[in-house]
Structure 1
């Protein structure tokens, strides 16, 4: 990472409004909805293992962050109320999500429409609550 990359100055969880506020040393502060963070989690579970393997996330409007911890000096690891906890959000990625928030929401809504699903639809295949699938 370049030494000129913005570094975080504060991180605040706003549980009532379900927003993660992240301030950076370049003066930018972003208010990232928990839903946006969950939908764009950098985990393989969400992003897949390569281009075109992304898993469209639905039913995340009411998701909360129940815990968050720092990972070294480069990332945070949130634990979401739906059990998702495998995404490491680097400071650079959080900054990117904040700067591109409007476009990311528009992209998400377009993907939902293309898939013919509602933002609040339950995730398919999660009825039993198990994240495991037999092979």
Structure 2
């Protein structure tokens, strides 16, 4: 499963809205781009060491996250969000650049995730996905 690149976009959110019922995080950026990022998608692409590992090739495929929700978001300085998921995960800091990259490349990253699940012999059990 490909991991989002850590590249500088320089884009800053102008509005961030959590839609708990639909389990979506809506992010508007200063260049007019708007992304809706599903809780499951954000959870499986968490930038935490628990998900990504501590080095190349150590990422841990996240399974069974179809029903995960977001219970809260908290700004971290002027550069990131901490997302609290209802499965207890809250250690990843989602920088503005990462959120932009996850939005811009959502279709490709989601397909990579689905392919990785299939390669590992797992199937999603419903959920809204990306």
TM-score (norm 2): 0.88
What SS does structure 2 have at the residue aligned with 1:66? strand
Name the counterpart of 2:56: 51
1:68 maps to which residue?
Answer: 73
Larger Rg: 1
The aligned residue for residue 109 of structure 1 is 114
Structure 2 portions without partners, runs of 5+:
1-6, 126-130
1:18 is aligned to 23
Higher relative contact order (CA 8 A, sep 6+): 2
Moved over 6 A (4+): none
2: CA distance, partners of 1:44 / 1:32: 21
Aligned residues: 119
C-alpha deviations, 1:66-105, integer Å up to 9, x for none? 1110000000001100000100000000000000000011
Q: Does the residue aligned with 2:107 lie in a helix, a strand or coil?
A: helix
- What's the C-alpha RMSD, in Å, of the aligned pairs? 1.3
Segments of 5+ residues of structure 1 without an aligned counterpart are: 121-135
